[in-house]
Amino acid sequence: MLAGTKDVLNSRFAVSPLFELDSLLRTLNGLNRHPLPAAWAARLLPAYHRLRAETALDALLALQTRYYGAVFVAPPPQGLAQTIEMDLAEVRRTPLPQARKEIAECLRREPVTDEAVLAVLRGPRVVELLAEVLRTTGDTLLAPDWPQLRAICERDIVHRAGLLTRSGWAAAIAGLDRRLSWRDGAIELAWRCPDETLDLGGGGLLLVPSVFCWPRVAVYTDPPWPHALIYPARGIAGLLEPVPAAEPGALGALLGRSRAALLTALDAPGSTTQLARSLGLAPGAVGDHLAVLRRAGLVTGARSGRSVLYRRTPLGDALAGGSVD
166 in any annotated domain = yes
Are residues 131 and 209 both part of a single domain?
no
Of 215, 237, 259, the last residue of a domain is: 237
Asked, for residue 304, whether it belongs to a domain, the answer is: yes
* Residues 46 and 138 occupy one common structural domain: yes
Residue 264 lies in a domain: yes
For residues 165 and 110, state if they share a domain.
no
Domain of 176?
5-14+148-237
Q: Are residues 168 and 220 in the same domain?
A: yes
CATH assignment of the domain containing 278 = 1.10.10.10
The last residue of a domain, from among 146, 181, 214? 146
Could you tell me if 35 and 133 lie in one domain? yes
**pLDDT, position 325:** 41
Neighbours of 160 (CB within 10 A): 22
> Which sign does the torsion angle of CA 98, 102, 105, 107 carry?
negative
The pLDDT tens digits for 163-199 are 877 888 788 888 787 778 777 777 777 765 555 667 7
Run of H or E residues at 22 = helix 17-28
Q: What is the pLDDT of residue 66?
A: 86
Asked whether residue 170 is assigned to any structural domain, the reply reads: yes
**Domain-embedded: residue 325:** no
Predicted confidence at residue 248, as pLDDT, reads 44
Does residue 324 lie within any of the structural domains? no
Residue 226 confidence (pLDDT) above 80: yes
The mean-pLDDT minimum among 102-116, 173-187, 236-250, 297-311 falls in 236-250
Higher pLDDT, 260 or 254: 260
Same domain, 47 and 139: yes
* Percent of the residues in the chain that have a pLDDT greater than 70, as a whole number: 89
Whether residue 130 is found in the same domain as residue 174? no
Counted domains in the chain? 3
Q: Which of 237, 254, 284 is a domain's end point?
A: 237
Give the per-residue SS3 of 261-320.
Answer: HHHHHCCCCECHHHHHHHHCCCHHHHHHHHHHHHHCCCEEEEEECCEEEEEECHHHHHHC
* Residue 142 shares a structural domain with residue 154: no
